[in-house]
Amino acid sequence: MNSYRQKKFEYVTNKYQNRGRLLISCNDKPGIVAKVSQWLFECKANIVESNQYSTSHTDGLFFMRIEFECPDFQKRYSELKKSFHEVASSFEMDWQLQSASNRKKTAIFVSKEDHCLQELLWNYERGELYTDIAMVVSNHETMREFVESKGIAFHYIPVTKDTKPEAEKAQLELLESNEIDFVILARYMQILSSDFVTRHPNRVMNIHHSFLPAFVGAKPYERAYERGVKLIGATAHYVTDELDQGPIVEQDIERVDHRDSIEELKRIGRSVEKSVLARGVKWHLEDRILVYGNKTIVFD
Report, as residue numbers or ranges, the catalytic residues: 244
Nearest residue to 119 via CA among 236, 213, 201, 230? 236
Q: What is the C-alpha separation between 275 and 235, in angstroms, rounded?
A: 10
Q: Are 31 and 64 in contact (CB under 8 A)?
A: no
Nearest residue to 211 via CA among 242, 184, 258, 244? 244
Q: Is 287 left (phi over 0), alpha (psi -120 to 50) or beta?
A: left
What stretch of H or E contains 10?
Answer: helix 3-15
Q: What is the C-alpha separation between 124 and 132, in angstroms, rounded?
A: 9
Name residues whose C-beta falls within 8 Å of residue 99's C-beta, 6 or more positions apart in sequence.
16, 19, 20, 21, 73, 74, 77
Q: What is the C-alpha separation between 266 and 260, in angstroms, rounded?
A: 10
Beta pairing class for 104-110 and 131-138:
parallel
Whole-angstrom CA distances from 273 to 2, 18, 65, 186, 277 are 26, 35, 27, 9, 6
Sheet with 19-27, side-by-side order of all strands: 46-54, 61-69, 19-27, 94-99
End-to-end CA distance of the chain: give it in Å, rounded: 28
| Cβ count within 10 A of residue 227 | 10
Q: Are 270 and 254 in contact (CB under 8 A)?
A: no
